[in-house]
Chains A and B, each alone.
Chain A
Amino acid sequence: MNLAIINFGSGNLHSVHKAFESVSSDLSNPYNIIVTNDPKEIQSADKIVLPGVGAFGDCKNAILNIEGLHASLEVSVIKNKVPFMGICVGMQLLADLSYEFGTHSGFGWIPGEVRRIASPKEYKIPHMGWNEITFSDHKLFDNCEQGSDFYFVHSFYFQNQKNEHSIATTKYPDQITAAVCKENICGTQFHPEKSHINGKKIIHNFLEWKP
C-alpha cells in the first residue's frame, strides 16, 4: 500500500513524513510512504495526505503551478474516492473560498469558507498551542478521549456550510472547526504530526480508515 504526502514546497514536510513513518512502522502491514508532487505517483497512491503551512493563496498557487498536480488529486480523491487527509491549510484548501489576504477559491470539496478568527483582544492571534477538542463519532477519533489536547497554529478557520461535515470542534473562545469529513475526504485544523501521542492516534486511525 502506498501513501503519498503531497510536496508542493510547503513548510514542515519532514515532520509530517517522520510522524506518518513512525506510526506506519508499527502496523502489521506498513505503508510505503512517499513524499511527492508527481501526478503519476499520486494517482497510484492508496491514501493521500496534503500538509500545508503558510497563506491559503500561496499554497493554492503553489499547487496549481505544479503541472498535473491538481488534476491528479481530483481524479484520485473525487473520482476514485481515495482516502484523503488535509492538515491545517491542507484542510482549509478543501473549502470553496478563503478570505486570507484577498479572496481565493479553494478545491470546493467540502462546502464552506475560510475566515479570520474573530476573538476578543485578550485572545492572541494566531491561535497557537494545545487546545482540547470535542469530536463526534468517527473512525478518525477511535481510542481518543473527549477533551484531549491537540496542537493548533492558525489565524483563519474553516466555517462549514453544513454541520454534518464538522466532526470535531475546539473553542477560542467561540467554537472553531477542528476537523472535517465528507465521505473519503477528511482534514484536521490541528497538527496531528505535532500532537504527540494524541496526534499519533489520529494518524493511526487515518491509516486504518476504510471510508
Chain B
Amino acid sequence: MLKKRIIPCLDVDNGRVVKGVNFIDLVDAGDPVEQAIIYNAEGADELCFLDITASSDNRDTLLEVVKKTAENCFIPLTVGGGVRNLDDISRLLHFGADKVSINTAAVDNIDLVAKAANKYGSSTIVIAVDAKETAENQWKVFTHGGRKETNIDVVTYCNEVAKLGAGEILLTSMDRDGTKSGFDNKLLKAVTSKVNVPVIASGGVGNLSHLLDGILEGEASALLAASIFHFGEYSIGEVKRYLADNNIPVRI
C-alpha cells in the first residue's frame, strides 16, 4: 500500500534554517545540512527546503546547501523559494534537487507550469500554493511569500496547474501557518476532493493529532511540518509510530 509521507521542511534564509510565525519574526534553528542528515537518519520520507532569502543576491548559499544535502541524503529532496524560470529549475536540479517547487512565478505566468513539466517531467514539478480564507469556505491564492492577495480561487487554480502537468501540490494555509492550531482541513478537503494529483498539507501543525487529522479529514497524501521537528518536540519516528498506531500506512 502507498504510504502517507512525512516531510520535514526547512525554511532557509542565507544558508541557515529559520521558522517564522505567520511568515515574520524568524527564529534561527540551525544548520540545514546537519538537520537534513538527522531527518534522513530518523526516517523522513522526503525533505523540503524553502529558500526565503528575500534578495536574489544570496541565493547561491542555498545551492551549496542543496549540493551537500544531496551528497548525504538518499531520499527525495524538494527545493523551492524564488524559482522564477526554467534556468532556476535547471540549476537546482543540477545541484541535486529531485523536485522543484514553484509558487509566485506560476501564478504570474501559468505557462511556466506546462513548460517546466514538459521539460523536466511532472514528477519534478511541485506547485506551492499559499491559501487564505477570504470568505466562509472560500480560499484565495496569495503570492510573494503571502504578502500579496490575488483574486484567484485556490481550488480552481490547483485544478488548472494539475492539468498543465504539476505532479504535486504543496498547499499551505496562511491562516494556520505558525499557529500550531492544526491544518486547515476544510481547505485540504476542498482541494483533495477535486484535484487528482497528490496534495501535501502544510501550515499549522502543533501536535500529533493534527497530523492524523490532516490525513483523515483533509485526505492529504503527505504532511509537511517544520517547527515541531526543529525544536525537538517530536521526532520523525514518534510521528510515524503514532500514525501507524492509528492505522495510517507509513514507512517505518
Contact = CB atoms under 8 A, between A and B. Distances in A.
B120 A130 contact: no
Interface of A: 10-15, 18-19, 22, 53-55, 58, 89, 121, 123-132, 149, 151, 153-155, 171-172, 191, 193-196, 199-200
B1 A131 contact: yes
A126 B122 contact: yes
Contacts, number: 105
Interface residues on B, range: 35 or more
B66 to A, nearest CB: 9
Chain A residues touching B, majority SS = mixed
Interface string B43-61: 0010000000000000000
Contacts of B93: 11-12, 14
Interface string B201-229: 00000000000000000000110000000
B123 A121 contact: no
A144 to B, nearest CB: 15
B118 A129 contact: no
B98 A15 contact: yes
A126 B197 contact: yes
B146 interface: no
Interface string B65-100: 001001100111100000000000000011111100
B5 A129 contact: yes
B182 interface: no
B117 to A, nearest CB: 9
A26 to B, nearest CB: 13
A11 B121 contact: yes
A171 B1 contact: yes
A20 B5 CA distance: 25
B110 to A, nearest CB: 19
B118 A124 contact: no
A196 B196 contact: no
A196 B77 CA distance: 12
Contacts of B1: 131-132, 171
Interface of B: 1-5, 40, 45, 67, 70-71, 74-77, 93-98, 118-124, 167-168, 196-199, 221-222, 251
A53 B71 contact: no
Contacts of A195: 74-75
Contacts of B77: 15
Nearest to A23: B74
Nearest to B98: A12
Contact of A149 (B3, B121, B199, B222): B3
Given A11-B93, A200-B74, A153 B167 contact: yes
Given A125-B196, A128-B167, A196 B94 contact: no
Contact of B118 (A55, A131, A132, A151): A55
A130 B5 contact: yes
A128 B70 contact: no
Given A22-B74, A126-B197, 5 more contacts: A14-B95, A125-B197, A128-B221, A131-B1, A194-B74
A188 B70 CA distance: 21
Given A128-B221, A131-B2, A153 B74 contact: no
A84 B124 CA distance: 24
B189 to A, nearest CB: 13
A124 B197 contact: yes
Contact of B196 (A13, A121, A131): A121
